[in-house]
Amino acid sequence: MPSLRSRALSVALIASGRRRRFASAEAVRSQVAQSARRPASHLPPRSLGRVAEISRTFVGAWPVYDVSPRGTEPAARVLYVHGGGFINELVRPHWAFIRQLVTQARARVVVPAYILAPRGTADRTVPAAADLLSGLIASGGAGGTVLIGDSAGAGLALAAAQRLHERTGAQPSRIVLISPWLDVTMSHPDQALIEAGDPMLARPGLREAGRLYAGMLAADDPRVSPLHGSFAGLAPLTVFTGTRDVLTTDSRELLTRALAAGVDVEFHEEAGLPHGYPLMPLPEGRAARERIVRLIRATAEL
């Protein structure tokens, strides 16, 4: 049973018209056009600098932030790939989550502000993310490396892990996927029913955002939709999803396919909760974040 606060938030999301952003292909194209005219900032909030050392470098055209605990050595490494439907930048809830990973898990968190669609497409974005992951794993130091992604960023993270395994067989210590978007075709037969109760997302806009991200690739190409890729040899997975998320079908399919490939999966499906709930100020979100912190700490002790 979802908490009273989570039920109230779902009502508030519906009332705010949040879902209209993905209600149609035209709505998504309007967002993209507005972002082209006035690009959003991906800069971290100033308050993060009080608890973390922050530096920024460029990997190709990508700004990449390196956020480490202030005054102490990191105990583990995290590559965090943000969500936003491939068309939206890092926002405050992402940075709040990063802050918690730095302060509570004592993690060094590497955060790419990857190029958004339609300029950034899967054929270039996935190999670049795989390069970042490979470099972080190879950098050594204390603890292991945890790959974390939310929503579209979870799809990119999983595609990068698949690509890295194909190249070298290397993997992070663990992969954490938060409300993952893994199949941009939006073709699962259960999605129509779930969509009716989703307070945030709708299939028409998601299909268009996926089309922009796919570029010249087919929507079911594993670089675009890693649900169609190979799961053999992947690192242990932790997955968080809610039943009021039209994308929860991706998580369920992931569970089936990953287990069939022999991958260890820790699966959390919360009844009545919306897309991205682990990043929200909810009791269930707090519990999910605390679980992620514990997973990183456990990696640090390996």
Tens digits of residue pLDDT in 219-277: 999 999 999 999 999 999 999 999 999 999 999 999 999 999 999 999 999 999 999 99
Spatial separation of the C-alpha atoms in residues 131 and 163, rounded to whole Å: 9
Spatial separation of the C-alpha atoms in residues 20 and 208, rounded to whole Å: 14
**Beta carbons of 77 and 174 less than 8 angstroms apart:** no
Kindly give the parts of the chain with pLDDT less than 70.
1, 3-17, 142, 301-302
Instruction: Count how many residues are written for the chain.
Output: 302
Query: Across the chain, what does the average pLDDT equal?
Result: 94
CA R_g for the chain: 18
Q: Which residues contact 142 (CB under 8 A, 6 or more apart)?
A: 73, 74, 75, 76, 300
And the tokens for 165? 């395994």
Q: Which candidate, 176, 166, 98, places its Cα nearest to that of 144?
A: 176
**Beta carbons of 176 and 292 less than 8 angstroms apart:** yes
Determine the 3-state secondary structure of 124 from DSSP: helix
Q: How far is CA 64 from the centre of its chain?
A: 16
Output the pLDDT for position 300.
74
pTM, entire model: 0.95
Cross-strand partners of 267: 239
Q: What is the pLDDT of residues 13-40, one digit of tens each?
A: 654 557 789 999 999 999 999 999 999 9
Cβ burial, residue 46 (10 Å; 0-12/13-18/19+): exposed
Output the pLDDT for position 73.
92
And the tokens for 296? 């990183």
And the tokens for 68? 């480490």
Cross-strand partners of 175: 147, 237
Cross-strand partners of 56: 65
And the tokens for 230? 């190979």
Output the pLDDT for position 222.
98
Output the pLDDT for position 1.
64
Output the pLDDT for position 16.
57
List the domains of the chain with CATH numbers: 4-39+62-300 (3.40.50.1820)
Q: Report angle CA 169, 170, 172 to the nearest 5 degrees.
A: 140
**Beta carbons of 54 and 65 less than 8 angstroms apart:** yes
Determine the 3-state secondary structure of 202 from DSSP: coil
In the chain, what is the greatest distance between 2 CA atoms, to the nearest angstrom? 51
Determine the 3-state secondary structure of 216 from DSSP: coil
Q: Which candidate, 250, 290, 268, 252, places its Cα nearest to that of 105?
A: 290
Spatial separation of the C-alpha atoms in residues 184 and 213, rounded to whole Å: 9
